[in-house]
Amino acid sequence: AQKITQTQPGMFVQEKEAVTLDCTYDTSDQSYGLFWYKQPSSGEMIFLIYQGSYDEQNATEGRYSLNFQKARKSANLVISASQLGDSAMYFCAMREYETSGSRLTFGEGTQLTVNP
Amino acid sequence: EAQVTQNPRYLITVTGKKLTVTCSQNMNHEYMSWYRQDPGLGLRQIYYSMNVEVTDKGDVPEGYKVSRKEKRNFPLILESPSPNQTSLYFCASSFRPAQRSDTQYFGPGTRLTVL
């Protein structure tokens, strides 16, 4: 079974609007972490935001927030006030601290296009 | 500047010709890892290292070797490359993997084509 599922291969959003990128995960660990990375067309991987399974509040970093719904095993990334520079591939990833320790497992990614 | 560097950034080679992709970090990170990225598959871990002289297999280690003789360097070796190893390769490092929020920082990537 896929451990990280990103069901949206491509998403489009108008500049200045908010967009939600979906991520669902599968783990039997009680202790795990969820990460989002951005990959612009230049290819580098840029860390955006982290959510721990025991964190009581949803993580936020500037325009990025993570909508963490533990019971539904979802960790959706919300980008507010989209900018043209947000056009990129976005990856959701998970660390399972009990079973896999340091390993990061990635989803297939979502290509976001911000239209002017 | 704190960074992870990889060389070369682009490489075209032929089947069977041994090659090495270097990875170096200047952040005194304990943990280093190699990933490959293929369309529709995301990133998959090849090998990782928790510290000097400690390496272990990831999800797709076949056809690759690594070594960690110094803390800052973690080269990826393809002894006999094959076309199915054509991919985008990333090196990553992190400070302290035992810490839950420990974040991996990625190098710029190496695009490898094996003919």
Which residue in the block uniquely carries the two structure tokens 């090849």? Answer: B46
Q: What is the pLDDT of residue A46?
A: 94
Chain A: closest CA distance from residue B65 (Å):
18
CA angle B23, B27, B33 (to 5 degrees): 40
Q: What is the dihedral of CA B73, B79, B82, B84, to 10 degrees?
A: -40
List the structure tokens of B75.
């080269």
Kindly write down the DSSP assignment for every residue of A33-45, as one continuous string: EEEEEEE-TT---
pLDDT winner (highest mean) among B47-51, B52-56, B65-69? B65-69
A102 and B41 within 8 Å at the Cβ level: the answer is no
Q: What is the mean pLDDT of residues B82-104?
A: 89
The 3-state DSSP class for residue A85 equals helix
Q: What is the pLDDT of residue B103?
A: 87
List the structure tokens of B1.
């500047």
Report how many Cβ contacts below 8 Å link chain A to chain B. 59
Is the pLDDT at B2 greater than 70? The verdict is: yes
Q: What is the pLDDT of residue B1?
A: 79
Q: What is the pLDDT of residue A36?
A: 97
CB atoms within 10 A of CB B45: 23
Which stretches of chain B are assigned E, i.e. beta strand?
4-7, 10-13, 19-25, 31-38, 42-51, 54-57, 65-66, 76-78, 87-94, 105-106, 110-114
A35, β-bridge pairs: A50, A93
B106 and A44 within 8 Å at the Cβ level: the answer is yes
Q: What percent of chain B has pLDDT over 70?
A: 100
Q: What is the pLDDT of residue A1?
A: 62
Ordered per-residue pLDDT tens for chain A, 116 residues: 679 999 999 999 999 999 999 999 999 999 999 999 999 999 999 999 999 999 989 999 999 999 999 999 999 999 999 999 999 999 999 998 888 777 889 999 999 999 99
Q: What percent of chain B has pLDDT over 90?
A: 83
d(CA A69, CA B72): 38
The 3-state DSSP class for residue A32 equals strand
Do residues B37 and B90 touch, judged by C-beta distance below 8 A? yes
A43 and B109 within 8 Å at the Cβ level: the answer is yes
Is the pLDDT at B98 greater than 80? The verdict is: no
